[in-house]
Each structure stands twice: as structure tokens, then as C-alpha cells.
Amino acid sequence: GAVVSQHPSRVICKSGTSVKIECRSLDFQATTMFWYRQFPKQSLMLMATSNEGSKATYEQGVEKDKFLINHASLTLSTLTVTSAHPEDSSFYICSARDLPLAGVGVYNEQFFGPGTRLTVL
Amino acid sequence: GEDVEQSLFLSVREGDSSVINCTYTDSSSTYLYWYKQEPGAGLQLLTYIFSNMDMKQDQRLTVLLNKKDKHLSLRIADTQTGDSAIYFCAEKGSSNTGKLIFGQGTTLQVKP
């Protein structure tokens, strides 16, 4: 299957700093990337959908000014956590798919990155 | 709204079969998925089923779908210690965003 990488895999930062997480599709072009957040022993919560060349669509309750998403190329999306606080500590996972927006009944797999563990002190 | 529910924990002995259950609310779901997550890692797609199918088998994995009851199950035959992980059920609705709705995840513990 297709490979998605994330960098860094683990980051520790001080409160008030900004952290950038990269999500790359290594062997395919990803027109759409998704950013999830996962708390310990909990499910994945979709934060936003990122389409190449356009603004991200954020889920309800996700602060777009705090979680900046950029999808400038077909193989790279970045999530920047601005002015991080301890409550932003979490496991952030991205996924990517290689098809344009599809209608009902069309299968399109999401390929997941290995995740980034963010700890804010 | 869309919701996916799973039981949180399942413990089985090595060699036994494991059955992980999932219920969902969106009757317009087109595809349903099972993902596996090992500690500290991302999600690995195990299998998926299209909503007009009742069953799909792939080696040790069997997926059953009861669309009337909106119930999905994953059976792992001859469960091994390497199968210990968190298993997530997810649905893809009818919208064209590609968005997946995940269940809470079922932690599968396999005892030797």
C-alpha cells in the first residue's frame, strides 16, 4: 500500500511555543489529507480536512487560528500548533488519499501516517 | 448525527477466535472499515466492506455486516499474541468529503 510519513515522530516543547508537524505522502499524490487528534485510550477525532491548494475545512469546535493547516503541494500538508499549551498534548495522526473528491459508492482508502506525539510542558 | 459504537475491551486466549462488534447509526454509510492500531503507531487498514455486502472473508479475518441492524463485526480466527492491539471500526458516509467516523476502539488482549 501507499506510504505516509510524519515528522517529527515525537516532540516536546515549552508552553507558548509553536510546533509544526509535517505529513507527507511518499509514493502517491494526495489531493486530500486529514488531520486527527487522539487522546490516550480514546478514538480518533477528526480536526480538519485539507485539500491541496485550498483552505482547510475544520470540524466544529476546532480552533482554526490555533491549529494552522497548510497543504501547499500534492505530497505535503503541515499542521502548526500555535502558542501550545499543556492541554494540546496529544497524539496527532494524519491520513492521505489519492483520489479527488469522490461520490457515493466509490471506494477510496485513507492511508495513515505513524503519528506524532506532542508533549507541551 | 453519525455515531459509531464499540465495546472497549476483549480478552481471549491464543488460538481462540475473537469477535469484535460495532454498531453505527448512519444508514447511508457506503463503506465500513476495520483498522488496527498497535501501541504508539498509526492505523493500519485491515479490511473493509461495501454496504451492499453481507460478508467478506480475507484469510483469518471475517467481516459480517447486518445492514438492517446497522451492526458490523470482525472475527479473527486462531488469534495470535501479535493480534493484540486496538481495533477501530469506521464508516464512510454518503458525503463526498471522504470523512471517516471512528468508533472508540476495542482493545484486544491475547493471553498465551
Say what the pLDDT of residue A52 is: 82
Mean per-residue pLDDT for B5-25? 95
The DSSP call for residue A56 is P
Mean per-residue pLDDT for B88-106? 84
Say what the pLDDT of residue A109 is: 76
Residue of chain A minimizing CA distance to B6: A43
Residue listed under C-alpha cell 471500526: B89
Q: What is the pLDDT of residues A8-18, one digit of tens each?
A: 999 999 999 99
Say what the pLDDT of residue A1 is: 62
Say what the pLDDT of residue A51 is: 85
Q: What is the pLDDT of residues A43-98, one digit of tens each?
A: 889 999 998 888 899 999 999 999 999 988 889 999 999 999 999 999 999 999 87
Say what the pLDDT of residue A105 is: 43
Query: Which position has the higher pLDDT, B10 or B45?
Result: B10
Reduced to 3 states (helix: H, G, I; strand: E, B; else coil), residue B23 is strand
Say what the pLDDT of residue A102 is: 47
Contact call for residues B100 and B92 (beta carbons, < 8 A):
yes
Say what the pLDDT of residue A108 is: 61
Mean per-residue pLDDT for A10-29? 94
Say what the pLDDT of residue B95 is: 66
Closest C-alpha to A112, from B46, B28, B32: B46
Say what the pLDDT of residue A14 is: 96
- Asked if A46 reaches chain B (Cβ–Cβ under 8 Å), the answer is yes
Which of A6, A11, A25, A44 has the highest number of chain B CBs within 10 A, making it the mutation to test binding with B? A44
Which of B99, B104, B107, B108 has the highest number of chain A CBs within 10 A, making it the mutation to test binding with A? B99
Mean per-residue pLDDT for A30-49? 89
The DSSP call for residue B54 is S
